[in-house]
Amino acid sequence: MFFVITIFIDLVNGQNSTSGINWAFISLAFLILFSLQFVFQIRYFNWIFGVILILASIYFSLAVLSEFLDFSVPNKDAYSLLTVGFLLCFSGIILGILILRSLIKDI
């Protein structure tokens, strides 16, 4: 509920990022798509969500690697960032693959 209220406040205030993309609108669109998928369970949305989850996880794993490379001297915090970040990203990739695998198995 807090997520929805935050998005609504950002939309009303018109707060955008520096790139000019209204991320609150995109987040709200995904929230609506997930809600529709939960109610109607449309097969094509599952394909889209699986692919988006895999691509987003790959993108975030590259972001984690970029943040790790910003450390001039790798220390405990850098390795902690790398470990936790890659675990989260790879779990997203695995979940995306499992979504697509379950859809392929049904065909």
User: Mapped to the 3 state alphabet, what secondary structure does 26-51 carry?
Assistant: HHHHHHHHHHHHHHHCCHHHHHHHHH
pTM of the full structure: 0.73
pLDDT score of 35? 87
- R_g of the chain computed on alpha carbons: 17
pLDDT score of 104? 84
Residues of the chain with pLDDT under 70: 1-23, 107
pLDDT score of 96? 93
